[in-house]
Structure 1
Amino acid sequence: MNAIKFYRYPLSGHAHRVELMLSLLGLDTEPVFVDLANGAHKQPEFLALNAFGQVPVIDDNGTVLADSTAILIYLAKTYDASGQWLPEDAKVAAQVQRWLSVASGQITNGPATARLITVFGAPYDADEAIKRSHALLQVMDQELSERAFLATDHATVADVAAYTYIAHAPEGNVSLEGYPHVRQWLARIEALQGFVPMPRTVIGLQA
């Protein structure tokens, strides 16, 4: 079988979610750089893959999928024989879905948006994004004081979806200093076999 073609941009947190999942599953991957800075994601060739003009996209031997959380679900369902990453148990599956919704909601509107402002110059309200980020982190820290990972006692796609923008929150001037359980959770993910980091930008609190 051919490698999974993976359309990505190195500083995209959404793309990193997929890169991390591919690596954790040990899958053979062919990365394809999409030059967002020069508008490659808005060209007809790329729009044929994802009409929304966003990375990431994968092409798994003819199965073309966009949207980072949708791709995480596909990869776990297709390639994780153990069932660890997307458990079948109804209660755990519901908790995983809860955190996938948080990844697309509070994380996107909080730390991801704060980072967009500093790294890419996006025209959003930094104070509001930082405020939303800390409201999220308070909830995460409390819940992670009760278990090792977001949905259960082992890593799932929920943790993969949440990791990148939380780990890189300081780039958007969101401090993780007051959230010890969140920092311990980040370290546990970074200790997983197959973990790969996203490049850090020397900006915000990372400067």
Structure 2
Amino acid sequence: MKLYHHPLSGHAHRARLFVSLLGIPHELVEVDLRTGAHKTPEFFALNPFGQVPVLDDDGTVVSDSNAILVYLATKLGRTDWLPADAKGAAAVQRWLSVAAGEIAYGPAAARLITVFGAKYDPEDVIGRAHVLLKRLEAHLADRDWLVGARPTIADVALYSYLASAPEGNVDLSPYPRVNAFLRRIEALPGFVPFAKTPVGLSPAA
């Protein structure tokens, strides 16, 4: 199994984190985004959208980080990570949509400005991030995990860009429950950290 990734991509880390939490032997293949390796004909053959991550499971190619989470959990029958019942599956899917929406256009976009020089409006995307964080803080008032009594792929999907939000100048200090949630994920067996960059707020912020 090969996982094409870039160490500073939160989407790629999302997939790498889950592969590691599952304990699956895999080969990491770094795609150099800065030199345009994701825009070559060879990479477009793997993913026509030219994005990481991409999973190559012995010829079965899966692109999109959330799709990779679903693929691995389903293939391995890991209903602990992706519930098989309709209610549980729908609850997880709701948070996968948050990962693709509110996370992508909030904390992830804020980090893209500082790490990759993206041309977003900082005030707008940081504001979006805080709207999401307030909702998450409320959601975690009476629970440890986003769905049910144990971690699922919903938690994995949100982790990387929440943990790295300070790099995009998004202050996490007003959200103790969100911070505790991040620490719980980091304590899971097989956890691998997301690479840090020196931009944004200091760790003490």
TM-score (norm 1): 0.96
> Does 1:18 pair with 2:19?
no
The aligned counterpart of 1:164 is: 160
> Does 1:117 pair with 2:99?
no
Q: Which amino acid aligns with 2:23?
A: G
* Aligned partner (choices 69, 85, 91) of residue 72 of structure 1: 69
The aligned counterpart of 2:34 is: 37
* Aligned partner (choices 97, 100, 119) of residue 104 of structure 1: 100
Rounded Cα–Cα distance in structure 1 between residues aligned with 2:142 and 2:46: 41
The aligned counterpart of 1:54 is: 51
- Residue correspondence of structure 1 range 145-164 to structure 2 within 5 A: 145-164=141-160
Structure 1 residue 71 displacement after superposition: 0.5
Secondary structure at the aligned position of 2:201 is classed as helix
Q: Unaligned stretches of 5+ in structure 2?
A: none
1:32 and 1:82, CA in 2 relative to 1: closer, same or farther beyond 3 A?
A: closer
Secondary structure at the aligned position of 1:96 is classed as helix
The aligned counterpart of 2:172 is: 176
Q: Unaligned stretches of 5+ in structure 1?
A: none
The aligned counterpart of 1:204 is: 200
Deviation digits for residues 121-146 of structure 1 (CA, Å, limit 9, x no counterpart): 10110000000000000000000112
Structure 1 residue 206 displacement after superposition: 3.1
Deviation digits for residues 91-143 of structure 1 (CA, Å, limit 9, x no counterpart): 22111010000000000000000000001110110000000000000000000
Q: Which amino acid aligns with 1:41?
A: H
Rounded Cα–Cα distance in structure 2 between residues aligned with 1:89 and 1:184: 28
Rounded Cα–Cα distance in structure 2 between residues aligned with 1:199 and 1:82: 27
Q: Which amino acid aligns with 2:90?
A: A
The aligned counterpart of 2:182 is: 186
The aligned counterpart of 1:93 is: 89
Structure 1 residue 82 displacement after superposition: 4.3
Percent sequence identity over aligned pairs: 59
Secondary structure at the aligned position of 1:65 is classed as strand
Q: Which amino acid aligns with 1:105?
A: G
Rounded Cα–Cα distance in structure 2 between residues aligned with 1:181 and 1:118: 26
- Residue correspondence of structure 1 range 125-140 to structure 2 within 5 A: 125-140=121-136
Give the alignment's Cα RMSD to 1 decimal: 0.9
Q: Which amino acid aligns with 1:8?
A: H
Structure 1 residue 186 displacement after superposition: 0.3
Rounded Cα–Cα distance in structure 2 between residues aligned with 1:82 and 1:9: 26
Runs of 4+ in 1 over 2 A off after TM superposition: none
